[in-house]
Structure 1
Amino acid sequence: MSSAPIISAVGFCTHTSEGGNFSTLEASIRTIADLGATAAELSLYGEEIIAGGRIIPSRAERLVQITRKFDLRYSVHGQIVSNFMDKEHLAEQKAVVRAMLELCNRIEAGVLVHHSGHAIRQAATQHSALDRMERDALGEMAEVAAGYGVRLALENIFAMSDAEYRQTPSQVGETVKAVDSPQVCALVDFSHAYIECTRLGLDWREEIKAMAPVTGHLHVHDSFGRPYSMAKFYHPAEATALGIGDLHLPVGWGDIPWEEIFAQLTFLPDTMLILEITEDRFGGEQADSLARALRLAALVNGRRLAA
């Protein structure tokens, strides 16, 4: 058995400014590097590098110049609105993913994060058709990803209401298994799973356990697993105070039992752990969250070395 670590890099996502300000991006990457992290997830959905499914060459070159300044491993977060259950815009969705995969290749990022699909809740037979459409699109994109040596990481998301169809975390894992490509893995977002399973009355620990064997990327941030039950907050701190929703809190601020989870689960080789905790809100807490995340990675990697 190889002694290579399961969790091979730990870092943060980048903060994105309005209008794709590359100075903000570079400063965010520098902050991550200065903290002692080994990875950065670039939030390229907000950087105005793709227009109409095509890469803007001058902005892509500027991105390459910035990323080469730092000794970090990179992943890329694709569009927040990425959705391979979006039949009306499926061609456009695929075009953006192709462009994102090319950007990954240019900056030597090994992972492209892709949100799992959603649609208006319909009859079960129609949900099956949506699931097939997503699997087919992922299989098509996997062939493109193979040419670049990139893994597509399919992230579990939560629904905002019962009117929305989303796959449960375990179903996201089943989608990855059905695609059956080394270029497609699951991405466990622990807080997203907690929120969605609370909403549905499912055991969220069992749901992420079902995903783990096909998981090659992790998003870590804390919450209380409470679904959205209020329509509006005037400031993010109000949601934090109430403990409602997808809070993206520093590790330890919520009630997720991180040590218990990481003592039990293992993942695919060469998994990145990304803290989705940005410096604009929690710059003073990032170092502590990084130290906690490194200890979580050691729990997983220590079991691998002892096996």
Structure 2
Amino acid sequence: MDARTPAPLIRGIGYSIRATSPDFDDLAGKLDEAERLGVDFVELPIFAWTLVMDGRVLADRLERLVAATRDRPFGYTVHGPLAINLMAPKAVLPRHEAALDAAITVAGAVGAANLVIHAGCVRGEDDIAVAYSRQRDVLSRAGDKAAAADLTLCVENIFRFEPMRETPLPSRLAGELDAVDHAHVRATLDVSHAFLRCTDARADFMSEIAALAPYARHVHVHDSFGRPQESWAIDDAERAALGEGDLHLPLGWGGIDWDGVAQRCRFDAGTVVNLELHRRYWSELSAQIPVLRALAEKFAAAYAAP
């Protein structure tokens, strides 16, 4: 992407609201809060709401969601079902593709700019190369559907957890998206997820995120110490005390060098920068918004630098 493109680098900042009711009947208050905070986007957690049954969108509930989200001074992004796995075995893959199709329908109906799904993974004895091929095929089809819904499908890098053999490093995800080569299939760079995955793989964190950044139309930011979960713990406070796992800490509370991230990453034009904060730290949200906006400005300044 030419650094002189007329499209702004950073389209806006936003944050992921947290679902507390499966019927999203408490959504109005959460959107009121976002309006007071002056963000540009709100990320909707449709993975936690009762909207889809066996790949079928529940029309009456979707109508209620559309009504609840209209007439706000910000746009939307959507996080699709976390369970979608486009590298799943062939026998079950149609279920995952149907869930993705439903998520595209929901995201399109609320006018979302981006729909986030997780990159695929291999848990069993499936052939890894074949699994990647299946994912590319589904993403190509999904890109056409996303284009028809006027949104971008953004594939998010994750880290290995549970009995997971494979999920792509950021550089591998960049290569997969390059192979798909679809204008409506881009990346969500989750910086903390990359930190965790690179620790696990003993890969260079900054090089890996720099490789994915040009493919990213969406960035998830939250802090951690880049240590995979190793110790037994009951409560998230214990995990934070140990500095282990996917903590979703406020920016500046963990070990990520955010200035270094801004210096190394050249994001795609029109990128949304989205804060994913754990609900236990929600009291920090208002203080995090100026930090988030300042980080987005650093991303833009780095992009414009020679």
* Shorter-chain TM-score above 0.5: yes
Distance 1:127 1:164 in 2: 9
Supply the AA of the counterpart residue of 2:36.
D
**Pick aligned residue for 2:20 from 17, 20, 38:** 17
**Pick aligned residue for 1:35 from 29, 33, 37:** 37
Supply the AA of the counterpart residue of 2:81.
Q
Deviation at 1:69, TM superposition (A): 3.6
Do residues 5 (structure 1) and 8 (structure 2) align? yes
- The match for 1:82 is 84
Do residues 218 (structure 1) and 197 (structure 2) align? no
Give the 3 Å change call, closer, same or farther, for CA 189–74 of structure 1 in structure 2.
same
Asked if structure 1 preserves the Cα contact closer than 8 Å seen for 2:206 and 2:264, the reply is no
- How many pairs are equivalent? 302
For residues 110-148 of structure 1, give each alpha carbon's deviation from its aligned partner in whole angstroms, at most 9, with x where no partner exists.
Answer: 11101101112658xx21111101000100111111111
Deviation at 1:4, TM superposition (A): 3.4
For residues 175-205 of structure 1, give each alpha carbon's deviation from its aligned partner in whole angstroms, at most 9, with x where no partner exists.
Answer: 1111000010011101101011111111111
- The match for 2:152 is 151
For residues 199-242 of structure 1, give each alpha carbon's deviation from its aligned partner in whole angstroms, at most 9, with x where no partner exists.
Answer: 11111111111111111110000000001112x42211111111
Distance 2:264 2:166 in 1: 30
- The match for 2:283 is 284
Matches within 5 A, 1:226-245: 226-230=227-231, 232-245=232-245
Unmatched runs of 5 consecutive residues or more in structure 2? none
SS in 2 for 1:182: coil
Give the 3 Å change call, closer, same or farther, for CA 237–69 of structure 1 in structure 2.
farther
Deviation at 1:283, TM superposition (A): 2.3
Distance 2:168 2:300 in 1: 29
Matches within 5 A, 1:1-307: 1-18=4-21, 20-87=22-89, 88-120=91-123, 122=125, 126-160=127-161, 163-230=164-231, 232-278=232-278, 280-304=279-303
Distance 2:300 2:92 in 1: 41
Distance 1:289 1:70 in 2: 21
When the two structures are superposed, what TM-score results if normalisation uses the length of structure 1? 0.93
SS in 2 for 1:219: strand
% identical equivalent positions: 32
Distance 1:227 1:283 in 2: 23
SS in 2 for 1:112: strand
Deviation at 1:304, TM superposition (A): 4.6
SS in 1 for 2:85: coil
When the two structures are superposed, what TM-score results if normalisation uses the length of structure 2? 0.94
Supply the AA of the counterpart residue of 1:217.
H
